[in-house]
Structure 1
Amino acid sequence: MSTSKGQLETDLHTAMKARDELTTSTLRMALTAIRVAEVAGKTARELSDDEIRQVLLKEAKKRREAAEAFADAGRTEKAELELAEEGVLLRYLPAPLTEDELAALVATTIAEGGFTGMGSMGQAMKAVQAAVAGRADGKAVSALVRAKLQEG
């Protein structure tokens, strides 16, 4: 069993004993998403820590988007619940990059890879996404890579 999944299960049991309903329900949802990902495809397999991190990132993004939708619809209590669930998930993810750190990482990766012009956008994005490792929003990364390639 991967250490990330083991930690989630341990924390779930702790939350259940403490009768922490928010953490319990959020971790149950996260573990379910991980189990679904494990059996997706032709054969069942155990996810690596990086793959588990990707599942948690996707679940956190779902919560953030749902919170925005609820807030736009005037359902603030549901939006707050979704944000609280996102907060629980963020405990298990690496700290996000600041805008300055992300800009520096993009500039360095593009320079080291020798990417120039919009024709190399796909290759540059692949390299930058590998360096970012899920610590920044894909839209922000794409915008910075596009801007950097257009200026150079």
Structure 2
Amino acid sequence: MTLRERVGASLKTAMKEKDVSRLATLRLINAAIKDQDIAARAQGNEDGVGDAEVLAILGKMTKQRHESMRAYEEGGRIDLAEREREEVKVIEEFLPRQLSGEEVEEAVEQAIAETGASSIRDMGKVMGQLKQNYAGQMDFGAVGPRIKDRLCSGG
């Protein structure tokens, strides 16, 4: 079952169970996927987005909600932060298990070896390899500095 199908099935279940907050989040996910489908079709991809793109969408949605949570908590709006936290829980149901710090280090080392990266100019190649193999399984914003340090230090 594709991610899109899993989201659709969860949406139907939430409707049947009248789970309003879950339903709202699933509708947001569905809308984001459809937006990307439209963009993909405009670029000639008639099939729309695949699982890798859906994972990227979900990862981006999670990151946005974490940023919102922080802002709401700093602003003293704990009620809104809690709503964002609930949305994150629903979104994360569709994401694969996050890699541990050690697994991320191994993945970075492997990507550097596979791409033959030797300088900071190769960072894009390494990041592309990681995104292709580990979409939704790691925070690429946090991985970027690790790759940079590794390539600058030369080992």
Would the alpha carbon gap of residues 10 and 119 (structure 1) be closer, same or farther in structure 2, given more than 3 Å must change?
closer
TM-score, structure 2 normalization: 0.87
Computed over aligned residues only, the root mean square deviation of the Cα atoms, in angstroms, reads 1.8
Q: Which stretch shows the higher mean deviation, 104-113 or 77-86?
A: 104-113
Q: Look up the match of 1:49.
A: 51
Query: How many residues matched?
Result: 151
Structure 2 spans left out of the alignment, 5+ residues: none
TM-score, structure 1 normalization: 0.89
| Counterpart contact for 1:110–1:128, Cα < 8 Å | no
| Counterpart contact for 1:67–1:79, Cα < 8 Å | yes
Match of 2:66 among 51, 64, 69: 64
Structure 1 spans left out of the alignment, 5+ residues: none
1:52 to partner: Cα distance = 1.7
Q: Look up the match of 2:3.
A: 4
4+ residue stretches of structure 1 with deviation over 4 A? none
Residue type of the partner of 1:100?
E
Would the alpha carbon gap of residues 123 and 5 (structure 1) be closer, same or farther in structure 2, given more than 3 Å must change?
closer
Would the alpha carbon gap of residues 82 and 146 (structure 1) be closer, same or farther in structure 2, given more than 3 Å must change?
same
Q: Percent identity?
A: 31
| Counterpart contact for 1:39–1:45, Cα < 8 Å | no
**Cα distance between partner residues in 2 of 1:83 and 1:66:** 9
1:45 to partner: Cα distance = 4.5
Residue type of the partner of 2:127?
M
| Counterpart contact for 2:115–2:125, Cα < 8 Å | no
Q: Which stretch shows the higher mean deviation, 5-14 or 126-135?
A: 126-135
1:130 to partner: Cα distance = 2.4
Residue type of the partner of 1:19?
K
Q: Look up the match of 1:96.
A: 98
2:49 equivalent to 1:37: no
